């Protein structure tokens, strides 16, 4: 199960810490939380430093968040890449993503 910790960022946006796996098994839960966060603030900062496992579904959730932010004219920042996240980014050659 993935835990979520939400804080108001210094710029008035939302800082969302994900703690646990980002996998197909909890993708629906994470998607709902990401959409809720996007509807709440102009800036979303995702802290992935506590992600214990990530698969393609987790990567797709990040791509969805980026696409939604661009469509809404919002800002997405991804910070604190855990080794599990960095491994997926390296595999897909998407570090600049």
pLDDT in tens, 25-63: 999 999 999 999 999 889 999 999 999 999 999 999 999
Burial of 55 (0-12, 13-18, 19+ CB in 10 A): middle
- 67 pLDDT band (50/70/90 cuts)? very high
CB 5 within 8 A of CB 35: no
Residue of higher predicted confidence among 8 and 30: 30
């Amino acid at each position: 199960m993935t835990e979520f910790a939400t804080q108001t960022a210094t710029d008035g946006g939302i800082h969302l810490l994900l703690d646990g796996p980002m996998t197909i098994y909890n993708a629906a839960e994470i998607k709902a939380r990401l959409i809720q966060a996007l509807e709440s603030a102009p800036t979303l900062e995702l802290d992935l430093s506590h992600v214990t496992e990530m698969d393609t579904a987790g990567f797709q959730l990040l791509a969805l968040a980026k696409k939604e932010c661009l469509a809404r004219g919002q800002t997405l920042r991804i910070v604190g890449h855990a080794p599990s996240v960095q491994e997926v980014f390296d595999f897909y050659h998407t570090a600049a993503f």
